[in-house]
Amino acid sequence: MPEYDPSAARPPRMSDAEVTAEARRIIADAYRPAHDMPTAYRDTSPLPAYGTAPPVHQPDHRIVPAWAAGTAVAGIGVGATCVGIGCGIWLACQGFAAVTLTSVLFVTLPIAAVAAVATAVGSALRSLKGVRTETHHHYAGPVRQETNQITAPAYGLIARNRNELHR
């Protein structure tokens, strides 16, 4: 069996001067400022012009429709009302030992269901009022009407849409 030499497994030791030089090199590398790299670029060359009309400012005003805001407010109101009614019933029933959370839920859930149905019906009626079914087409000059039928077969577990326009 060959002799095991433990000194062969150890890396060679550095002298104190080499250790000091290596430590200074590592510290200098750590504190060296990094090179500035550009993170964005703005192209200032003029864009090509199409047509002769000057650009028109188009303000961005995103307005929530009134029916959506009304539905949201009604939903918040119904939720707050149900919480208030439920808390009131819970406080009123605190004195009774036989009242459990389940019985309080059985009392408050029908109230919440009625309120949710009322909100849904009101929202549906409000949206139906805004629907206009009449469409008027006014044409001046010769009119050519085209009716295109697009078939979009999509069969199978993973369906791929292949729109085919038949004229």
Nearest C-alpha neighbor of 82 from the set 62, 107, 103, 101: 107
pLDDT above 90: residue 20: yes
User: In this predicted structure, what is the pLDDT of residue 23?
Assistant: 95
Nearest C-alpha neighbor of 18 from the set 6, 26, 10: 26
Q: Is 149 in a helix, a strand, or coil?
A: strand
77 vs 119: CA distance, rounded Å:
10
**pLDDT, tens digit (0-9, with 9 covering 90-100), for 103-129:** 778 778 888 888 889 988 888 888 777
Angle at 144 between CA 138 and CA 147, to 5 degrees: 105
User: In this predicted structure, what is the pLDDT of residue 36?
Assistant: 77
In a 13 Å sphere around the CA of 154, the CA atoms on its Cβ side amount to 8
**pLDDT, tens digit (0-9, with 9 covering 90-100), for 34-70:** 777 777 888 888 877 777 777 788 777 778 888 888 8
DSSP-assigned letter for residue 139: -
List the beta bridge partners of residue 150. Answer: 165
**Type of residue found at 73:** V
In a 13 Å sphere around the CA of 111, the CA atoms on its Cβ side amount to 17
Q: Is 135 in a helix, a strand, or coil?
A: coil
Task: From residue 100, give the alpha-carbon distance in Å to each of 10, 96, 109.
Answer: 74, 9, 14
Pick the residue with more confidence: 100 or 162? 100
**pLDDT, tens digit (0-9, with 9 covering 90-100), for 6-18:** 666 666 788 899 9
In a 13 Å sphere around the CA of 44, the CA atoms on its Cβ side amount to 0
Nearest C-alpha neighbor of 153 from the set 164, 144, 140, 142: 164
The pLDDT-based confidence of 163 (bands split at 50, 70, 90) is low
The pLDDT-based confidence of 22 (bands split at 50, 70, 90) is very high
For a pLDDT cut of 90, what percent of the chain falls above it?
9
Q: Which two tokens stand for residue 56?
A: 């028109």
